[in-house]
Amino acid sequence: IDGQAAKSCNTKASAAIGKTVTTIEGLSTDSSHPVQVAWTEGDVPQCGYCQSGQIMAAAALLSKRPNPSDFDIDAEMADNICRCGTYERIRGAVRSLGSAEDLEEETGDV
Ligand code: FES
């Protein structure tokens, strides 16, 4: 919501009134957003249940903190639980991406 990560499971719809909401479908129409590509190339998903939230959290993290450390990644994404245990692949995918400036150059947005 307005560029900040928000979890749909605990965010009231009224909190989004008058604000810009980006969903996983809004990152790109063809899965070409750099974070989505990194997920595919890193073979991150297992069952996929948590992956929309993981990708959106990663995109929000990278938009405010280019080249995050493992600590940054873990801290930002700690509330996104993956029952399949893909955390190492998630860290790898996030680390594989360039800075937020690189993402903006490629997509015009993060
Ligand atoms: Fe299965 Fe995360 S990929 S819960």
| pTM for the structure as a whole | 0.84
Distance 105 CA to ligand 1 centre (A): 30
87 burial type by CB count under 10 A (0-12 exposed, 13-18 middle, 19+ buried): middle
Q: How far is CA 53 from CA 2, 9, 11, 105, in A?
A: 16, 10, 13, 24
Which pLDDT does position 66 carry in this prediction?
85
**Ligand 1 atom nearest to CA at 48:** 3
| Predicted confidence (pLDDT) per residue in 44-97, tens digit | 999 999 999 999 999 999 988 888 998 999 998 888 999 999 999 999 999 998
Asked if residues 45 and 53 have their Cβ atoms less than 8 Å apart, the reply is no
pLDDT tens-digit map of 2-40: 988 888 889 999 999 999 999 999 999 898 999 999 999
pLDDT, position 93: 95
Atom of ligand 1 nearest to the CA of 83: 4
